Amino acid sequence: MDYIIFGIIAYLLGSIPFALIIGKLGYKIDIREHGSGNLGATNAFRVLGIKAGSIVILGDILKGTAAAVLPQLFHADAYPLIIGIIAVLGHTYPIFAKFKGGKAVATSGGMILGINPILFIIMIATFLLSLYLSKYVSLSSMITGVVAFFASLFFQNTGLTVVILILTAFVAYRHWANIKRIINGTEPKITWM
């Protein structure tokens, strides 16, 4: 029963489309009609700017964190990592945005924050370093997943390692078009770092 209750809560949390909300409330635009059309933080930064993008990424991270932390707070009989994954699926396939959401990066990171803050810090450092060196958000996201997988081995938590492996593969799958553009040299780079 706990899995059903917290699973529904996690999915609904994950489904909150912060990029869409911020775009419509603050800028009177539907972000799905601009940039990549994606409801993730990267497109929010690109289309709406740093301030709005920062709000979106914070919201996307925290909904993953909340989903992972809630079962722990209520001492529920539900594995926080599984509940966190449901939030990631909500972010990727949100019921509030016709099941077309983001690419799972920020919400996955938020889930890790709720489970293992030290690993989250490693992930943030990896992402920022990769972004500084490559200027590709998509590539940095995938590199972060790979580093997180190897880093998770040091925490000797098999469940965490397996979940990170699954999420890393899922993030790569969600970035398949980006991978093709990187290979072809057509993937846009950031200019602010």
Number of domains the chain contains: 1
Predicted pLDDT at 163:
96
Structure tokens at 28: 């009177």
CA distance 60 to 111: 10
- Cβ atoms of 171 and 141 closer than 8 Å: yes
Residue 13 lies in a domain: yes
Predicted pLDDT at 193:
75
Predicted pLDDT at 192:
76
Residues in Cβ contact with 191 at an 8 Å cutoff, skipping those fewer than 6 apart? 135
Residue 192 lies in a domain: no
Q: What is the mean pLDDT of the chain?
A: 95
Predicted pLDDT at 191:
82
Q: Could you tell me which of 166, 20, 149 has the C-alpha nearest to residue 104?
A: 166
Residue 190 lies in a domain: no
- The whole-model pTM stands at 0.94
Predicted pLDDT at 85:
97
Which residues constitute the domain of residue 18?
2-184
pLDDT tens-digit map of 135-147: 999 999 999 999 9
pLDDT tens-digit map of 82-119: 999 999 999 999 999 999 999 999 999 999 999 999 99
- Cβ atoms of 80 and 110 closer than 8 Å: no
Predicted pLDDT at 151:
97
Q: Output b/e per residue, 58-90; b: 16+ Cβ within 10 A.
A: ebbbbbbbbbbbbbeeeebebbbbbbbbbbbbb
Name the stretches of the chain with pLDDT < 70. Answer: none
